Structure formats: structure tokens, C-alpha cells
Amino acid sequence: MNQLEQLKQFTTIVADTGDFQSIKAFAPRDATTNPSLILKAVQKPEYAPLLSQTVKEHAGLSTGDINDRLLIAFGQEILNIIPGRVSTETDARLSFNTQGTIDKGHALIKLYEAAGIDRERVLIKIASTWEGIRAAEVLQKAGVHCNLTLLFSLPQAIACAEAKVQLISPFVGRIYDWYKKSSGHDYNGDDDPGVQSVKQIYSYFGKYGYATEVMGASFRNTSQIVELAGCDLLTISPDLLQKLAESDAAVSRKLSPEAAQQSEIQKISLDETTFRTMLNDDAMATEKLAEGIRQFSADAVKLEKMVEALR
């Protein structure tokens, strides 16, 4: 078996793309999107008709509402290919607006349901700010499953798990980027700070019985992926899925529920003050969270401008 086939024995594979052809090629169970991936996709000739058609069909709506329908259109197309769930992101500009995020989450689910999609097949992606986590807690209680993204630290993960969110997406590659730039040192294998972060979160959840799924995300190389074999899910870009499919190197399980339960990681009592203090004390997590929100917000604006130009 190639590495991708081996990995599928231990971990649910998720495609991290808005490119339908790539999703078909690698047969993942789930798929994730974000504003940057959708923006990248609609600039390709094969996806331009989906953008123009969505704008034409909803020309009487606001640009923001048309944007939402474009996200749903991509989600629908992806769900026609995969057997599992698609993650659709809320507007990153709502990352510090709890009620706004709640409203947007309900609005997206209603659009999916109006299109005949069961809400069980949709994860609403929300940035892992304190406000975003509180919004996800409310949405989860209302039966809207959430994927908490832009997650770079254990306190963010714990707050999500205590809010009973469905799934979290710790960003391996962006953690790696920060430490590589900060230290000037390249990391590989188990020495990678991004890999270590996900292993810590997985162990904490397993040790203390949290049901929230852990999905490693934002990979830079296949070494990071292989080191997390056994994680609940891994969302992987098409180029790295291709590299895994082309390699027949051995893949062994690195994470397991049994090992997590034996972990000696200490329990953390978390309230808002502790969350904010711990996040503030972690320069990497603070900087990467802020940077991610800015990037996704900027790409949402670019997408709106493309929509506006077609109206």
C-alpha cells in the first residue's frame, strides 16, 4: 500500500481544498474549505461558471448574501462527491462577535437545508477566539455542528472541548512556520512544534474523556502528516495527498486512545480570564490567530469584490 492507503487505516482523511477534481481523485471521507481556498478556486477557469451562475441567480441580494450562497454552492458540489461532511466557514470578520457568528451559523445551515442537505453533513467553521467558542457552544446546543479553526494552543483546544464543539482544527503548518522563522531552525518528524501541539491536544482529550474530534490541519510536508497517524482526522491539501499516494514508505500508528489515556498531562481549570491570559502568554498562538483572522477577512473582501464586479 502507498502511504495514503496506509494512513487511511488509522485516520479519517479529509481533503483541504475547494477543487472538486482533486477531491474526486483522492476519495476522502470529508472536505474542508475556507475563504482563501474558495477564492483560489473561483479564479480557475473551470470554476468561474459556478461564480457567475450564483451571482446571476441571486442578483437581487446583497453582496454578502451572494457570498454565502457561493459558499453553499461549493459545499453542495463537494457533498455530491464525498460520503461525509463539508466544513463551511463563517465570515472571519465576525471572529469577535458572538451573536453575529451565531446568526451566520444558523443562516448557513438554513441555506444548506433549503438545498436539501442534512445539517449532519455540514460543519460550520469558526475561529477559535473566546467569542467564537461561545458562539459555537450555542450553535452546538441548537444542533449545528461546528469546526473550530485557527487553533494554535492547548487552552483554545480545551475551551472548545468544554464547549462540546464537534471538531477542532489545530494548525500544524502555521505553528511550524512561526517557530522556524523565530528560531532559524528547521524541524522534522516528532521535533516539529506543530506536530507536538496536536499530540498534546490529542493526549489531553483522550486522558480526560472529551468527545470533541481532533483534526490536524495546515500541513507543510508529509513528515508532519505521518507523525500524526492515528489522529481522529487529518485535512490535507491535494499536493500533499499526491505525495502520500506516490510514496510506499511505511506508516505506523503514532497516536491511539489507549496511549492518550496513559498520558501524564495535567488537567487545566479554564475560565475566560485563564484562557485569555494563557493565549496572551503564547506569542506564537496570539500572532498566528490574529494573522489568520486578518488573512481570511481580506480574502472574504476579495471574494466580495469579484461578486460585485459580476453584478
Catalytic site residues?
125
Rounded to an integer, what distance in angstroms lies between the CA atom of residue 112 and that of residue 118? 7
167 conformational bin, left if phi > 0, alpha if psi -120 to 50, beta if neither: beta
- C-beta separation of 17 from 37 below 8 A: yes
247 conformational bin, left if phi > 0, alpha if psi -120 to 50, beta if neither: beta
The three state secondary structure string of the chain is CCHHHHHCCCCEEEEECCCHHHHHHHCCCEEECCHHHHHHHHCCCCCHHHHHHHHHHCCCCCHHHHHHHHHHHHHHHHHCCCCCCEEEECCHHHCCCHHHHHHHHHHHHHHHHHCCCCHHHEEEEEECCHHHHHHHHHHHHCCCCEEEEEECCHHHHHHHHHCCCCEEEEEHHHHHHHHHHHHCCCCCHHHCHHHHHHHHHHHHHHHHCCCCEEEEECCCCHHHHHCCCCCCEEEECHHHHHHHHHCCCCCCCCCCHHHHHCCCCCCCCCCHHHHHHHHHHCHHHHHHHHHHHHHHHHHHHHHHHHHHHHC
> At residue 123, what are phi and psi to the nearest 5 degrees?
-115, 130
Looking up cell 441567480, which residue turns up? 57
